[in-house]
Structure 1
Amino acid sequence: MDVGMTLPVMEPDLWAAEDTLERWARAVDEGPWSSLCFGERMAFDNPETLTLLGAAAAWTSRVRLVTTVVVPQLHPPVPLAKALATGDRLSGGRLTVGLGVGGRDEDYRAADADLATKTIAGMAERVAAMRRVWAGERVADAVRPVGPPPVQPGGPELLVGTLGPRTIRAAAAWADGLAGMSLDLDPAEMAKVFALTREAWREAGRPEPRVTTSFWFALDDGDGSAREQIHRHLRHYMNWIPADFVDLVAATAGFAGTPAQLREVLDRVADLGADEVQLIPTASSVDQVHRLADLLV
C-alpha cells in the first residue's frame, strides 16, 4: 500500500513563514511518500488550489500530485479543465484529481456558484464537460480547441471524494476510483466502503477502481498532547459546524499516538485492501514529514 502526505493548507499558522508549503513539498518529494495532497476551500484562509497546483509541480519532480478534493461546481468547467490540464503538463503527467460536491454552502456563495448545482448530477455534468476539453473537442466557437492537451491520455486520473453509497454508485460511471476519508478509523466502516466501491465499478462494467482513503493524524510520545492537537485543528477547520458537535467528533477523530502505533494502523488499513492512504496533518511543522519517513522505508 502506498502512503501519501497532505500539505498543511488548513492550518491557522500556515502563513507565519512564507516558505512552509515549499519546504513541505520538497520534503515529501525527497522522501518515501507516494503522493503530495491538498484540498480546496473557498471561504477560508487556505491557498487557492489551482495556483498551488502549479507551485507544487515546480517544487516536486517525483511524487504524484493529488487534489483532495476540488469542487467542480465552484468553477466554470472549461477554465477548470484548462487549469488541470496545465497542472498535468507542468508535473509531467503526475496529477490525480479528487472531485467532490462539497459540504459547505458558504463556499458556493463565496464563488458565486449556483447552489442548485450542489448535486451528484451537477458534478457529473462538469466532469463530462472537462472530458470533452481533454479529448480535444471544440467546446466553443473558436479556431482552435481549448488546450493544452493533458499528458495523460484522456485527462488526469479522477477520484470521487465521498463516503456516500449513492455518490459512489453514481460516480462509477465516470471516476477512476475513490478518494475516501475516515473520521474515526473504524476498520469495519472502511472495509464496507472499499467493498461498495469495487462492487459499484464491477456493476458499471468499469476497470478495477483505485481505492484510497485518508485521515487526520497527530504525533506524540505517549503524553496525550496529540489528541489536543487534533481538537485544535478541527475547531479551526470545521468552523461551519457548531463547536459542541466538533468537540464530540474531535474526541475520536483521526489518529493520535506514536509513530510506532501509526505504523500498526497503516498495516491494518493495508490489510483491508486500500491502494493508498493519505495522511492529513493537524500542525504545520515539517518535522512530521521527516519523523514519519522512517516508517515507510
Structure 2
Amino acid sequence: MKIGICIPYMKAGLSREDYLAWFSAIDQGPFHSLSCGERVHGPTYDMRVLLSAAAIATQRVEITPTLYVLPMHSAARVAKEIATLDVLSGGRVKNVAVGYGGREKDYEAVNASFVGRYGRMDRQVELMQKIWNGEEIVEGGGFIGPEPIWKSAPRLLAGAMGPKSIERCAPWADGLYAWSGNGEANELERTFSMADQAWERANREQAPYRLGGFWYTLAEDGQRKLYDYVYEYLSIAGPEIAKMMAESVHRNSADAVLQALDNAEAAGCEEVFMVPATAEPVEIEGLVELLASRT
C-alpha cells in the first residue's frame, strides 16, 4: 500500500518557511504522494497555489489534489490548472480527486450555484477530457493548453461516499477516494464494495482505483488537538454532528496510527492519504519512524 500525506492547509499563521520544511520532509521521506484539500472559508490556504508550490519545491513525490470541489469552478480552468501542475511537477500528477462538496457557503463565496452541482460535474468531467484530448471547445478558439507531460491523463477519482453519488460517478471515474475519519476497515470496505458494484453495473472493464484517507496526530496532547481539528472541520454541520464525529476519532498515538494503516491495507486501499490534525513537525518526523517500523 502506498502512503501519501496531506500538507496542512487549514491552520492559520503558516509561513513560506513552514511549507518549504513540509515539502522537503515529505519529498525526502518514505511517502509516495503529497496532497491538499480545498476549502474557501476560514484561515485555509488555497489548494491550487500550495500544490503548485509543492510541484516546484519537490522532485520525487506525486502531486495529488484531494480534492477539487469541481462544480464550484470553471471546468476549462481546472483542466488548464491540472495540465500546468503536471508540467511544473515534471509529470508527477497521476491522480486527481474531484467531488461535489457540501459547503454551500463556499459555493456562495465564489459565486457558484450549489443547486444542480451533481449534473454539472458530469458535464464538467466530459469537458475536461475533451480539453486534455486537444479538442476545440469554443469554435475558432483553438486548443486549451499547456500540453502536459503525461502520456495519458491522470486518473479522475470520485470523492464520493453515498451509494447514489458513487453510482453517478461510476460511468466516468477511474477510482474512488474513500474516507474514514478514524481509519476503520469496515467503513472503507463498505465504500469500496459499493464502488465495485457500481462499476460492474456501469460495465466498466477496469476495477476502480482504491484511495483511502483518515485523520491522525502524533503531537503532544494529541487527543485534544485531534478533537479540536475534527470539530472545527465539521462545525458547518452543526455542533451535535461536529461533537459526535470529534469524539469518534482517536488515531493519536503510534499504535493507533499503525492500526489505522493496517485497517486501510486490509480494506484493500492501494494508496492512503494521512491527514494530520496539526502542522507540527512531529506529524512527519514521527510518521517517518512509524513507517520504518512497519516495513
Which TM class, normalised by the smaller chain length?
A: over 0.9
Partner of 1:292: 287
After TM superposition, the structure 1 = structure 2 runs for residues 105-254 of structure 1, keeping only pairs within 5 Å, are 105-119=104-118, 121-204=119-202, 205-219=204-218, 225-253=221-249
Given residue 183 of structure 2, which amino acid in structure 1 is its aligned partner? L
Q: In the alignment, which of 256, 280, 283 is matched to residue 275 of structure 2?
A: 280
Shift of 1:45: 2.2
CA distance in 2, matches of 1:188, 1:268: 8
**Structure 2 residue 102 is matched with structure 1 residue 103:** yes
Q: Which amino acid aligns with 2:283?
A: Q
In 2, the alpha carbon distance for the partners of 1:89 and 1:246 equals 39
The count of residues paired between Structure 1 and Structure 2 equals 290
C-alpha displacement of 1:154: 4.3
Structure 2: give runs of 5+ residues left out of the alignment.
none
8 A contact 2:182–2:215 mirrored in 1: no
Structure 2 counterpart SS, 1:5: strand
Counterpart pick for 1:82 among 80, 83, 92: 80
Pick from 250, 254, 261 the counterpart of residue 256 of structure 2.
Answer: 261
Of the structure 1 ranges 260-269 and 89-98, higher mean CA displacement relative to structure 2 is found in: 260-269
Preserved contact between residue 67 and residue 96 of structure 2 (Cα < 8 Å): yes
* Whole-Å separation in 2 of the counterparts to 1:54 and 1:17: 16
Q: Which SS does the other structure have where 2:189 is aligned?
A: helix
User: How large is the RMSD of aligned CA atoms in angstroms?
Assistant: 1.8
Question: What SS does the corresponding residue of 1:256 show, helix, strand or coil?
Answer: coil
**Cα gap change, 1:268/1:93 in structure 2, threshold over 3 Å: closer, same or farther?**
same
Question: Counterpart in 1 of 2:28?
Answer: 30
| More off after superposition, 198-207 vs 69-78 | 198-207
| Paired residue secondary structure (1:166) | helix
What is the distance in 2 between the residues matched to 1:194 and 1:94? 25
Q: How far off its partner does 1:187 sit?
A: 2.2
Whether the 8 Å contact between 2:219 and 2:283 is mirrored in structure 1 is no
- TM-score when normalising by structure 2: 0.92
User: What TM-score results when the alignment is normalised by the length of structure 1?
Assistant: 0.91
Aligned residue for 2:39? Answer: 41
| Displacement after TM superposition at 1:220 (Å) | 5.6
Comparing 27-36 and 242-251, the one that deviates more: 242-251
Decide whether aligned partners of structure 1 residues 188 and 277 sit closer, same or farther in structure 2, where only a CA change above 3 A counts.
same
> 167-176 or 146-155: which moved more?
146-155
For residues 22 and 235 of structure 2, what CA distance do their matches in structure 1 show? Answer: 25
Percent of aligned pairs with the same residue?
Answer: 30
Structure 1 outlier segments of 4+, above 3 Å: none
1: CA distance, partners of 2:167 / 2:84: 30
CA contact (8 A) 2:214 2:275 kept: yes
Greater shift, 80-89 or 259-268, is seen at 259-268
* The 10-residue stretch of structure 1 (178-187 or 93-102) with the greater mean CA deviation from structure 2: 178-187
Displacement, 1:17?
Answer: 3.2
Secondary structure of 1:150 counterpart: coil
Q: Which residue of 2 aligns with 1:58?
A: 56
Distance (Å, rounded) in 2 between the aligned partners of 1:175 and 1:277: 18
Cα distance between partner residues in 1 of 2:56 and 2:247: 38
Q: Which moved more, 1:80-89 or 1:177-186?
A: 177-186
Structure 1 stretches of 5 or more lacking a match?
Answer: none
Q: Which residue of 1 aligns with 2:9?
A: 9
SS in 2 for 1:116: coil
Q: What SS is found at the alignment partner of 2:64?
A: strand
In the TM superposition, residue 80 of structure 1 has moved relative to its aligned partner by 1.4
Q: Write the distance in 1 (CA, Å) between the matches of 2:279 and 2:182.
A: 22
